[in-house]
Amino acid sequence: MTIQTTTDLQEVVEAVVREHRDERGPLLVVLQDIQRRMGHLDPDVVPLVASALNLSRADVHGVVTFYHDFHEAPRGAVTIKLCRAEACQSMGAEAVVAEVKDLLGIGIAETAADGSVSLDQVFCLGNCALGPAAQINGRLYGRVDRDTILDVLRSDLQGETLSEAP
């Protein structure tokens, strides 16, 4: 969903807050719901949510910036999370990270200019025995390498051409 105006944004925030107002400590679920509906958390959401829930802007901003799954800009059609925890590092995760960054032409916490893919790092996917691990669009993969990532991307992007790194 693309929010066009501040009025549209206000309406989304008000609707979400109404749905969750009676829940205990609704801030996190309100932010998650807004991001689900919008695809990201526009920075203008912070003061609107703070006002609607009678919280300080600092409280809301603190939650938005603490959790890595909240994003202030739209994410790619495909989201790749590469594990960089110790177990995955011992199995070659850093080489995979370097290869994937080179393949995609973006860094960690970046989205491709065409909106096709976002790349993130995590510090455990709970798949330590099968490291290096990755999560792509919510699906967990073990023993990943550059070719595994490329194959999944080709499938998830429905045949769109990805250029091979030289």
Q: pLDDT tens across 26-82, in order?
A: 999 999 999 999 989 999 999 999 999 999 999 999 999 999 889 999 999 999 999
Residue 153 has a pLDDT of 85
What is this structure's pTM?
0.77
CATH of domain 78-156: 3.40.30.10
Residues 127/85, Cβ–Cβ less than 8 Å: no
Report d(CA 107, CA 119) in Å as an integer.
7
Domain assignments of the chain as residue spans, ordered by start: 6-66, 78-156
User: Chain centroid to CA 162: how far?
Assistant: 21
